Amino acid sequence: MARRFARTLCTAVLAAAFAASPAVADPAGPEPAPGPAAGAPQGLAGLLRQLQTLYQGAEEAGELYTGTSEELRKRTAEAAELDARLAGARTALDSGRREAGRIARDQYQGGSGFSVYLRLLLAEDPEHALEQSHVIERVQAGRAAAVDRLTGAEKRAEALAARSRALRDRQRVLVARQKKQHDTVRSRMRGIEAMLASLSEGQLAALEALERKNIGEAQDALTASGALSSVRPPTREGGEAVRYAVEQIGKPYVWGAEGPESYDCSGLTSQAWSAAGLDIPRTSQEQWRQLRKVPVSSLRPGDLVVYFPKATHVALYIGDGLVVQAPRPGATVKVSPLASNPLLGAVRPDPDGSPLSAYTRPELPDDATAGTDTGYDAPEG
Query: What is the model's pLDDT at position 347?
Result: 98
Tell me: pLDDT of 166 over 70: yes
Per residue in 186-243, pLDDT (tens digit) is 777 777 777 777 778 888 788 788 888 888 898 988 888 777 767 789 999 999 999 9
Q: How confident is the model at residue 60 (pLDDT cuts 50, 70, 90)?
A: confident
Q: Within a domain: residue 224? A: no
Query: What is the model's pLDDT at position 381?
Result: 30
Which CATH number belongs to the domain containing residue 287 in this structure? 3.90.1720.10
Q: How confident is the model at residue 15 (pLDDT cuts 50, 70, 90)?
A: very low
Question: CA-to-CA distance for 211 and 208, rounded, in angstroms?
Answer: 5
**Looking at per-residue confidence, does 99 or 5 come out higher?**
99
- Considering the chain, what is the average pLDDT of its residues? 74
Model confidence, pTM: 0.60
Q: Within a domain: residue 270? A: yes
Query: What is the model's pLDDT at position 323?
Result: 96
- The stretch 95-105 carries a mean pLDDT of 62
Query: What is the model's pLDDT at position 180?
Result: 79
Q: Within a domain: residue 364? A: no
- Residue 326 and residue 268 share a domain: yes
Torsion region of 29: left, alpha or beta (phi above 0 gives left; psi -120 to 50 gives alpha): left
Q: Within a domain: residue 205? A: no
For the chain, give the percent of residues with pLDDT over 90. Answer: 30
Per residue in 23-42, pLDDT (tens digit) is 333 333 434 444 443 343 45
Q: How confident is the model at residue 168 (pLDDT cuts 50, 70, 90)?
A: confident
Which CATH number belongs to the domain containing residue 53 in this structure? 1.10.287
Q: Within a domain: residue 74? A: yes
**Looking at per-residue confidence, does 166 or 279 come out higher?**
279
Tally of domains in the chain = 2
- Residue 124 and residue 28 share a domain: yes
Q: Which residues of 354-381 are buried (b: 16+ CB within 10 A; e: fewer)?
A: ebbeebebeeeeeebeebbbbbbbbeee
Tell me: pLDDT of 172 over 70: yes
Per residue in 351-373, pLDDT (tens digit) is 999 999 989 999 999 999 987 76
- Residue 79 and residue 186 share a domain: yes
| Domain, as residue range, for 126 | 1-199
- Residue 141 and residue 7 share a domain: yes
- Residue 29 and residue 71 share a domain: yes
